[in-house]
Amino acid sequence: MLFLGIESTAHTFGASIIDDQGRIITNVNSTYRPPTGMGIHPRKAAEHHNEVSSGVIEKAFHGVGEEVSPDAVCYSAGPGLGPCLRIGATISRALALYLDKPLVPVHHGVAHLDLAMAAGRSHDPLAVLVSGGHTAIAVHLNKRWRIYGETEDITLGNLLDMFARKAALPSPGGVTVELKAKEGRTLLSLPYTVKGNDVAYSGLLTAAIRLLKEGRSLADICFSIQEVSFAMLAEAVERSLVQTRKKEVLLAGGVAANKRLREMIQLVAEDHGATFHPVPIEYSGDCGAQIACSGRLAFESGITVPVPESFVNPRWRLDEIEVPWIPRP
Amino acid sequence: MDSSALDLQPLHRGAEADLFLSQLPPWKVVVKRRVRKAYRHEQLDASIRKERTIKESSTIRDGKVAGARLPSILGLDIERSTIIMTFIDGLLARDTIDTMSNVRRVSLLEELGRQVGFLHSAGIMHGDLTTSNIILPADEKPFMIDFGMARKSTDHEDHGSDLHLLQRSLIATHVLDAASSLRRVAKGYREVVGEEMAKSSLRKAAEIARRGRYFAIR
């Protein structure tokens, strides 16, 4: 069996085909880049997706061979930007009808974790999901991911992106802030807010922008943002790890590509005798492969949706859906 | 005071601090040492440990002044981010609450309500109020411990959050009936803080539970 995954939650339109062993055969992605200093405009991102979609999907099919077509169509149903979600969903519905194959709704955050677990051979982890849409610490219990700790305001991805915009660093913000941080040496004072297992980043963002306006070195600010915001998350992860006594720590999502964050979470895991499973950097960002990977597991658990009842949900919590395929064997 | 000369017996390793047993005649003491975190920038790490050591000890002192049953602070070693306090000899409520008689449990829940009431009326939030942080000595009069997450607050939201956390811990970890155990805690709490404040805190606690963001999994 072959599974097609369509990703279309935010800046990336992706299509990927994987087989029933979970092997990734093709993974083609195209990412909308807003002009420097600007954020993602939902309509413009949707227009981008509309333009590139047929090319991306054709390329994903092409890698499989001329005569092959997928046996199920998996699409990112949320959470994300409404206009972007609707493009992916519309294309997926059309494909499912045309090919006469089942349609599988996929939660984008769950998909990040599924792909990271498959790639990192993790079975039952304390999952740390860090991206533009999520900053959450979750463990699996009774068929669902349970949020053990999360951000109380903006996500780690938001923090880095919004600061990058203010500092006129080009998109993607996380990557450019990391690059700039390498030149930083001096730790500047920024608010450190951990409440139990939760973190809050909006005060830190405001303070960092203030430092920028005061004319402090951009490299030092980037360095300090990383040191403080990542240490906050690491502390929340450490508390959750001690409470749950999990033996694996998974790090997934776009911000998981950051080397300093990987290093910190690895230190926490190893200090408590847990193994560390970071998502491979090429699969950290949004991609079609995560949707295909999660869609395959959902399909095998009997989850499909008839086209007339198919939906998108821009606000869809990680703990709202059943994930009976976890823990993995 | 200098804690480096104390003879330390390991007691417990938490997420943030290591606990040791020691002697400071005539007292048997607990030494709580916040340890250096390798993941944290050295300068940030030092300031966090120092700040929390001072905050925790001053909150415990304020709570005692307000009448709550808490360990006594015997010394501070800020250089080593260490607090030295009296050892409370007893069992964790977590391990005993399921097996005690109904009569004793009822009086314990009411007393817990009173103890939380003393903290809240003094504007203190415990921040991590679970049955793992309550010690019962032989006389079964509960002591609250671990003020690592505590802070000054007169916000009903924070007080409600304390009560909610205690309630969640009673229900999630123990086979107690939710409604009747909360009623007992509320009775003791009301006695100390008065009708008006009790009403707002308890309403907040119920509201937090309804938000469904906090799952009963511990």
pLDDT above 80: residue A183: yes
Nearest by CB to A228, which of B44, B127, B149? B44
Residue keyed to tokens 């070693």: B77
Residues facing B157 on adjacent strands: none
Q: Show residues of chain B in contact with A227, CB under 8 Å.
A: 40-41, 44
User: Which stretches does DSSP call E strand in A94-208?
Assistant: 103-107, 126-130, 135-141, 144-150, 194-195, 198-199
Alpha-carbon gap, residue B97 to B108, rounded angstroms: 9
Q: Looking at the partner chain, which of B38, B41, B217 has a beta carbon nearest the beta carbon of A227?
A: B41
Closest partner residue to B41 among A148, A231, A235, by Cβ? A231
pLDDT at residue number A142: 84
Q: How confident is the model at residue B217 (pLDDT cuts 50, 70, 90)?
A: very low
Cβ B114 vs Cβ B186: under 8 Å: no
Residue indicated by tokens 């979970």: A22
Among the residue ranges A133-142, A259-268, B148-157, B166-175, the one predicted with the least confidence is: B166-175
Interchain contact, B39 vs A319, CB within 8 Å: no
The pLDDT of residue B21 is above 50: yes
State the Cα–Cα distance between residues A112 and A119, nearest whole angstrom.
Answer: 11
> Which of A59-73, A180-194, A243-257, B193-207 shows the lowest mean pLDDT across its residues?
A59-73
Give A238's contacts in chain B (Cβ within 8 Å). Answer: 15-16, 37
**Please, what is the average pLDDT of chain A?**
95
Q: Token pair for residue A84?
A: 């972007």
Band of residue B206 on the pLDDT scale cut at 50, 70, 90: confident
Would you tell me how many other CB atoms lie within 10 Å of the CB of residue A186? Answer: 12
| Yes or no, beta carbons of A239 and B16 under 8 Å apart | yes
Largest CA distance in chain B: 52
Q: Is the dihedral of CA B156, B158, B159, B162 positive or negative?
A: positive
Please report residues of A whose CB lies closer than 8 A to that of B14. Answer: 242
Phi-psi sector, B144: left (phi>0), alpha (psi -120 to 50), beta: beta
Amino acid at A206: T
Query: Predicted confidence band at A147 (pLDDT cuts at 50, 70, 90)?
Result: confident
- Confirm or reject CATH 3.30.565.10 for domain B91-211, answering yes or no: no
Residue A251 dihedral angles phi and psi, to the nearest 5°: -125, 120
In chain B, residues under CATH classification 1.10.510.10 are 91-211
* Shortest CA gap A125–chain B (Å): 16
Tokens (6 digits) for A208: 């960092």
Give the mean pLDDT of chain B: 91
Q: Which two tokens stand for residue A241?
A: 């790890």
pLDDT (tens digit per residue) in A12-33: 999 999 999 999 999 999 999 9
Both structure tokens of A209: 């922008």
In single-letter form, the type of residue at position B211 comes to: R
- The arithmetic mean of pLDDT across residues B92-96, rounded, is 90
SS3 call for A9: coil
pLDDT band at B159 (very low <50, low <70, confident <90, very high): very high
Percentage of chain B exceeding pLDDT 70: 94
The percentage of residues in chain A with a pLDDT greater than 90, rounded to a whole number, is: 88
Residue B50 has pLDDT above 70, yes or no: yes
How far A59 CA lies from chain B's nearest CA (Å)?
42
Mean pLDDT of A265-279: 97
Global ipTM: 0.90
Q: Do the bridges between strand A2-7 and strand A72-78 make them parallel or antiparallel, or are there none, so unpaired?
A: parallel
Task: Give the closest residue to A235 by CA, choosing from A206, A260, A267.
Answer: A267
pLDDT for A66 = 66
How far, in Å, CA of A236 to CA of A148, rounded?
Answer: 9
Q: What does the pLDDT look like over A286-310, one tens digit per residue?
A: 999 999 999 999 999 999 999 999 9
| Whether the predicted pLDDT of B214 surpasses 50 | no
Say which of A146, A234, A235 has its CB closest to residue B217.
A146
Taking CB atoms and an 8 Å cutoff, what residues of chain A touch B43? 187
CATH among 3.30.750.24, 1.10.101.10, 3.30.1340.10, 3.30.200.20 for B9-86: 3.30.200.20
CA closest to A226 among chain B residues: B41
**What's the whole-number mean pLDDT along residues A152-174?**
94
Among B45, B98, B128, B146, the active-site one is B128
Q: Does B218 touch chain A (CB under 8 A)?
A: yes
> Residue B160: which residues within 8 A CB-CB, separation 6 or more?
B200, B201, B202, B203, B204, B205, B206, B207, B208
Chain B residue at shortest CA distance from A229: B40
Average pLDDT over residues A159-168: 97
Q: Mean of the pLDDT values across residues A41-59?
A: 96
Whether B128 sits inside 8 A of A231 (CB atoms) is no
Task: Tell me the domains of chain A and their CATH numbers.
Answer: 2-112+285-320 (3.30.420.40), 125-283 (3.30.420.40)
Residue A322: DSSP 8-state? B
Chain-chain contact of A231 with B40 (C-beta, under 8 angstroms): yes
Which residues of chain A make contact with B40, given a CB cutoff of 8 A? Answer: 227, 231, 234-235, 264
3-state secondary structure B177-195: CHHHHHHHHHHHHHHHHCH
Task: Kindly list the residues from chain A whose CB atom is less than 8 angstroms away from the CB atom of residue B164.
Answer: none
Active site residue B2: no
A141 forms beta bridges with A144
Q: What pTM, to 2 d.p., does this model score? A: 0.90
Comparison of pLDDT for B211 and A227, the residue scoring more: A227
Say yes or no: B213 contacts chain A, CB-CB below 8 A: yes
Comparing A141 with B214, the larger pLDDT belongs to A141
Q: Kindly indicate the confidence band of residue A67, based on its pLDDT and cuts at 50, 70 and 90.
A: low
Binning pLDDT at 50, 70 and 90, where does residue B183 land? Answer: very high
**Higher pLDDT residue, B164 or A228?**
A228
Residue A167, pLDDT > 70, answer yes
Residue B213 has pLDDT above 50, yes or no: no
Q: Start-end ranges of CATH 3.30.200.20 in chain B?
A: 9-86
Nearest by CB to A196, which of B40, B48, B127? B127
